Structure 1
């Protein structure tokens, strides 16, 4: 019997993964975040039974489901260098979070209020990279499409600003829901120190991601993989809806800018599905 090469096996898995995500775009990018919003708000309003309210397993399952399009999109691009970059990003996310929660540097003093699963060193959620890395990756991918063949410097600075913008959306809602809390802050209960810290984190993370993933290859994959930014659509729906419910007008406006960016590059799911069907 002829031996099946590892390369062939990997390509077969990648094609199957692509097909599964492509056939379920609306599920991962629209249905899951919508259900997630409903369950979190029901937890906040004490409507859900205590057994389900802010359940860490359900939260992690929902987050992973929303990340599947990004994982499938990046998978064919992961060589040794890209894998190294992802490992470094994961280690960095653990390290900076541990320092932050232990010392208050660089984000400001904060503490977790909701169980986000098993803890590393009894302080940092083990699933942290699945929260942190997609924020960086989605911002880089969106700006690669928006800027296309602009100089690297423009892409890097734009991506850093976008990462900070995503945290301007995420943190106010997360604090209001009780995921974590600060001692106080001017921006919906979030201190300015948090965003000064995110300038550092975003810069380090974007540089690492850009080092690990070759821009030309990523851009080519983006042009042929219509679902690669669907996890960003999920982010827009999820956190945009929660902020709207909470009356956080500025985060909602920033979320709208991300939505406009997705529409401009034909990656907002309803419009994207229609456009790619026309191209076929």
Structure 2
């Protein structure tokens, strides 16, 4: 577990991702306590995403080098804009949806907040997949890592999307059929996220392979805190404050296999 959490002694830059990560957790706790649909909640949403995307870029830079950090930012943002712009124009691969004006300025119809949200979760998803697949046979490790990262990335959206629909940030033209317990988000969205995740994670994997310093210069604790809190903390908020029990249950169900796998890994390394 030391590789997950610890910054190397005397390496002050290794602590940099922790400040925005902790602030994100505190801000996310405030989200369900603010007025639904109000300007304060909109501001909290923006702050969460800005902090989360900062964690990803700072951690990628500190742990793998400036080229990787810049690449993570550019690759993720470009992929997000392309997929979202195509989705808005054609309905593929997510289904037909529209964004509200509450998310602010756009590029090709895509609110700036959206690629930042992808950035917030893409890098932690890849890091978690790297950890989960480290014992896979070498020849199969990369495709396994990409597939697991895409699944983690899509799983995060299972929790997020009902919350954002509830907040009025986007609307689905045909929200059914959806996952059991979620009647506001179609299954096509999950399929689209899996496809987009596979493309993005394959690109990030190639990026890290070509640019990253080895070994990483710090642990992965800060971005994994973001991922864990946005999933399990989000599920808690959905169950206790936001009136979204279906997505709360799905958040827990999707997290349990990951937690079990990490526990088994930790026991195996003792």
TM-score for the superposition, normalised by structure 1: 0.72
CA drift at 1:165: 1.4
- The question of 1:126 aligning with 2:120 is answered no
CA drift at 1:199: 2.4
Which residue, 227, 251, 254 being the options, matches 1:255? 251
Which residue, 133, 151, 154 being the options, matches 2:144? 154
Gaps of 5+ in 2: 1-10, 264-270
Which residue, 92, 95, 107 being the options, matches 1:108? 95
CA drift at 1:61: 2.1
Gaps of 5+ in 1: 1-14, 45-49, 267-280
Partners of 2:49 and 2:117 within 8 A in 1: yes
d(CA) in 2 for partners of 1:219 and 1:258? Answer: 29
Where do 1:13-162 residues align within 5 Å?
17-22=13-18, 27-39=22-34, 42-44=35-37, 52-55=39-42, 57-76=43-62, 77-80=64-67, 83-84=70-71, 86-113=73-100, 115-121=102-108, 123-150=109-136, 151-162=141-152
Partners of 2:158 and 2:251 within 8 A in 1: no
Comparing 85-94 with 175-184, greater Cα deviation is found at 85-94
Could you list the per-position Cα deviations for residues 173-213 of structure 1 after superposition, in whole angstroms to 9, with x for gaps in the alignment?
22122221112322222122222222221111110111111
Task: Look up the SS of the partner of 1:190 in the other structure.
Answer: coil
Task: Look up the SS of the partner of 1:111 in the other structure.
Answer: strand
d(CA) in 1 for partners of 2:159 and 2:213? Answer: 26
Judging changes above 3 Å, is the alpha-carbon distance between structure 1 residues 218 and 115 closer, same or farther for their aligned structure 2 residues?
A: farther
d(CA) in 2 for partners of 1:199 and 1:107? Answer: 10
Task: Look up the SS of the partner of 1:184 in the other structure.
Answer: coil
d(CA) in 2 for partners of 1:143 and 1:68? Answer: 20
d(CA) in 2 for partners of 1:85 and 1:24? Answer: 17
CA drift at 1:72: 2.7
- The question of 1:189 aligning with 2:189 is answered no
Larger Rg, first or second structure (1 or 2):
1
d(CA) in 2 for partners of 1:215 and 1:144? Answer: 16
CA drift at 1:132: 0.9
Say how many residue pairs are matched.
241
Judging changes above 3 Å, is the alpha-carbon distance between structure 1 residues 237 and 37 closer, same or farther for their aligned structure 2 residues?
A: farther
TM-score for the superposition, normalised by structure 2: 0.75
d(CA) in 2 for partners of 1:220 and 1:128? Answer: 31
CA drift at 1:53: 4.3
Say what the alpha-carbon RMSD is for the aligned residues.
3.1
Partners of 1:69 and 1:228 within 8 A in 2: yes
Partners of 1:30 and 1:234 within 8 A in 2: yes
d(CA) in 1 for partners of 2:76 and 2:235? Answer: 26
Judging changes above 3 Å, is the alpha-carbon distance between structure 1 residues 18 and 79 closer, same or farther for their aligned structure 2 residues?
A: closer
